[in-house]
Amino acid sequence: MKPIRIIGVPSDYGQGRRGVDMGPSAIRYAGLREKLRDMGLDVTDLGDVPVPTPETRHIDNEKLKYLDEVIAVCTALCERVRDVVAAGQIPLVLGGDHSVAIGSLAGVAAAGKRFGVIWFDAHGDMNTDETTPSGNIHGMPLAASLGLGHPSLTELGGPAPKVKAQHVVLVGARSVDADEARLIRQSGITVFTMAEIDRLGMGTVMEQAIRIAGDGTDGIHLSLDLDALDPMFAPGVGTPVNGGVTYREGHLAMELLADSGRLLSVDVVEVNPILDHRNQTGRMAVELVESLLGKRVM
């Protein structure tokens, strides 16, 4: 396994509920670095990307809330991710809400990589400023990375698109807005909803996802929204949806991705300790990352 570089992004500017800005602390407090070091990995925590203080926050555009703040955070993250990927290391980005993925995908692209994306999420995150029901940018990062939406997001850190639809797979979807569904169909990305996971099994779904994201690319970016998991296992998220990925399915997905040897970069987002029970979701995040980076029973 390549060296791992942890980057915290304590930002909640992409969504309405405070608390997800404490996600990096919660995940670190659950023992992330120590547990990965115990596995024999080369791990360094690079600390946090600077985030403007909430006291300065303001909404200019109801369809793109906190746009300036999201751009500032994502631009800083993009530069760090770019440098880590260019050095041959794996960036492990700790959110923060899912808008931070605009910065991480821009950073992988800026390092000159042609990559695929596996987007693990209860939601599509495929809204634009024209389709959004909430104005929250955390509902837009996958669209933005594919070149759909406001130019200040699609062109952040480099030209759009950051990734091609033919190499993008959404896994775990079960809550998609009507206009967003239309955009998803038009885009040509591959979607495995919970219904498909039920029918095919997570093993088959991930085999196909890894092939789609991995074949013909330099590697795979995993964007792991903890709300992909069932709220029973990850209650500490801002937008929980019932009927999610189980504990076992989650670990199986991470193990198969580890075994593929194609992992390039990772986001772990939407952990909100204010809504959590005794950091259960932060601990779940750490466990999943362990499986993703090669932890096995024996």
Q: Could you tell me which residues are annotated as the binding site?
A: 98, 121, 123, 125, 225, 227
Q: For the chain, what is the radius of gyration of the CA atoms?
A: 17
Give the shortest CB-134-to-ligand ARG separation in angstroms.
3
C-alpha distance from residue 41 to each of 34, 139, 294 (Å): 10, 33, 10
Residue type for 283, please? R
Is residue 281 involved in binding ligand ARG (CB under 6 A)?
Answer: no
Give the shortest CB-122-to-ligand ARG separation in angstroms.
7
Judged by DSSP in three states, 168 sits in strand
Write the DSSP symbol of residue 139: G
Structure tokens at 258: 């580890």
Which lies closer to Mn ion via its Cβ, residue 258 or residue 268?
268
CB 174 within 8 A of CB 194: yes
> By CB under 6 A, which span of 25-33, 131-139, 156-164, 166-174 interacts with ligand ARG?
131-139
Spatial distance between the Cα atoms of 205 and 61, rounded to a whole number of angstroms: 38
Is residue 270 involved in binding ligand ARG (CB under 6 A)?
Answer: yes
Judged by DSSP in three states, 294 sits in coil
Q: Assess whether 167 carries a catalytic annotation.
A: no
Which lies closer to Mn ion via its Cβ, residue 21 or residue 121?
121
Spatial distance between the Cα atoms of 214 and 37, rounded to a whole number of angstroms: 27
Binders of ligand ARG in range 219-258 (CB under 6 A): 225, 227, 239
Kindly name the residue from 12, 129, 227, 287 that is annotated as catalytic. 227
Give the shortest CB-180-to-ligand ARG separation in angstroms.
6
Is residue 280 involved in binding ligand ARG (CB under 6 A)?
Answer: no
Residue 128, contacted partner among ligand ARG, Mn ion, none, CB below 5-8 A by kind: none
Residues of this chain that bind Mn ion (CB under 5 A): 98, 121-123, 125, 225, 227
Q: Assess whether 150 carries a catalytic annotation.
A: no
Sheet with 263-269: strands ordered across: 43-48, 4-9, 90-95, 263-269, 219-225, 115-120, 168-173, 190-193
DSSP strands (E only) in the chain: 4-9, 43-48, 90-95, 115-120, 168-173, 190-193, 219-225, 263-269
> By CB under 6 A, which span of 37-45, 51-59, 75-83, 130-138 interacts with ligand ARG?
130-138
Q: Assess whether 225 carries a catalytic annotation.
A: yes
Is residue 127 involved in binding ligand ARG (CB under 6 A)?
Answer: yes
Active-site residues: which are they?
98, 121, 123, 125, 138, 225, 227, 270
Give the binding site for ligand ARG (CB under 6 A). 98, 123, 125, 127, 132-134, 136, 138-139, 177, 225, 227, 239, 270
